[in-house]
Amino acid sequence: MNNSKYSDAALLLFFIIMVVAGPFILAPFGGSYPDLLQKFAIFGIFAIGFNILFGLTGYLSFGHAVFLGVGSYGAVWMFKLLSYNVLPALVMAVVVAGFFSVVIGYISLRRSGIYFSILTLAFAQMMFNVAYSVATPITNGETGLQIYNDDPQWLQGADSPLTTNLFGLKMNEVFWRPEFFGFEAQFNVGYYFCAFFLVIAFYLALRITRSPFGMMLRAIKTNQNRLSFTGVSTRPYMLAAFVISGMYAGLAGGLWACMDPLAGAERMQWTASGEVVLMTILGGAGTMLGPVLGAGFIKYFEAIFSKINDQVLHSWFAFMPDGMENFMVAIVHPFVGKGWHLTLGLLFMMIVIFLPGGLIGGLTSLGRVLTGRGRKSKG
């Protein structure tokens, strides 16, 4: 417990360096462009927040995308009513997500285990359908909520930019495009804005995990019944964890809207809720770095695999005889492009079966084998 002070500081420093150097690190992998980098940070925040609930308490929410979705709607409404400034949008996103997580959490947490998961899933589907149809005046239904020229934007200054900005600093601006080992690295304002919140989110999650509150949450995961016989009322602890992770999701949704001022109901669909579960488990549930790594992993493969089409495949297998080439393309075809989820599914199965601790668990054991000594603490 005492030595965690130094290893936590080291962990945080490592995290900050990785995030700041993100555009460089990803350049050789073809991932250094604003859209993908922003997604890493946004879904990193989403997964860190989800991990506070799932990783610490073991309660598996299957409806967390709701909070991301309402966060996005809240943010876009601020753009429509006030101005393109991102700060009020983010505040609104977190507040709205917090409100919804109090209501949904209060009801869902009356049950535990699979029933809790089903309740959250039911809420998510309900919210998705409401956003898609009934609540059209607020959500603009199928089209999605976006900003129109006749929106009031009461606080929009005459000379401030007509795109999301932080007091004039445009989110979509790329301010530096250095060459890095022959690859272009794009340094973007929006990414660093998201990265700032990612680092804060990571730091707060670290503090929560190491607090007495965090210890109670871990005790809930281990033996909730025993904890109540120890004098702890477990439900408020659960609700607090649920709301904190809901607000993280709201922040992620708000940031997403700040990068691209749109909000659609599909952000709340159950597949989106499932995705954050995959990210967390893939990276390593209950670890500090795991969820961010899992989020990056999934978003990266989504970007890379979904871009591969038959033309690219043909160029890969061009060295083969014609019949063989067509055969190989036909085999690989279902795993790329629109079918990249198939690849993701296979990767997910392999990781769950062979690396039960997720990517972080795998890296930890690898490190142990390489250094030849048992290391107790892990990120």
Binding region for other proteins (CB under 8 A): 1-2, 4-5, 204, 207-208, 210-216, 218-219, 221-223, 225-234, 236-237, 240, 244
Give me the DSSP letters along 78-116: HHHHT-SBHHHHHHHHHHHHHHHHHHHHHHHTTS-HHHH
CB proximity list for 310: less than 8 A, separation 6 or greater: 329, 333, 337
The tokens describing 298, both together, are 């999934």
Min dist. Cβ of residue 65 to other proteins (A): 24
Beta strand 187-188 with 174-176 is antiparallel
Q: Which is nearer to other proteins, 291 or 296 (CB)?
A: 291
Residue 230, CB half-sphere, CA atoms under 13 Å: how many? 10
| Rounded Cα distance, 77 and 70, in Å | 10
Q: Which is nearer to other proteins, 133 or 228 (CB)?
A: 228
Min dist. Cβ of residue 221 to other proteins (A): 7
Min dist. Cβ of residue 247 to other proteins (A): 12
Q: Which is nearer to other proteins, 218 or 333 (CB)?
A: 218
| Rounded Cα distance, 242 and 327, in Å | 50
The tokens describing 76, both together, are 């876009």
Residue 260: DSSP 8-state: S
Q: Which is nearer to other proteins, 213 or 316 (CB)?
A: 213
Q: Which is nearer to other proteins, 165 or 224 (CB)?
A: 224
Confirm if 134 and 115 have CB atoms less than 8 A apart.
no
Q: Which of 279, 345, 272 is nearest to 55 (CA)?
A: 279
CB proximity list for 106: less than 8 A, separation 6 or greater: 239
Min dist. Cβ of residue 10 to other proteins (A): 16
| Rounded Cα distance, 41 and 39, in Å | 5
Min dist. Cβ of residue 52 to other proteins (A): 9
Q: Which is nearer to other proteins, 10 or 17 (CB)?
A: 10
Q: Which is nearer to other proteins, 74 or 379 (CB)?
A: 379
Q: Which is nearer to other proteins, 133 or 230 (CB)?
A: 230
Min dist. Cβ of residue 291 to other proteins (A): 18
Min dist. Cβ of residue 223 to other proteins (A): 5
Q: Look-up: residue for tokens 């198939």?
A: 342
Min dist. Cβ of residue 263 to other proteins (A): 29
Q: Which is nearer to other proteins, 133 or 211 (CB)?
A: 211
Helical spans, DSSP H, in the chain: 4-20, 22-26, 34-57, 65-81, 86-108, 113-129, 136-139, 189-209, 212-229, 234-259, 270-283, 290-305, 310-316, 322-332, 340-354, 358-371
Min dist. Cβ of residue 14 to other proteins (A): 20
Burial class (CB in 10 A: 0-12, 13-18, 19+), 106: middle
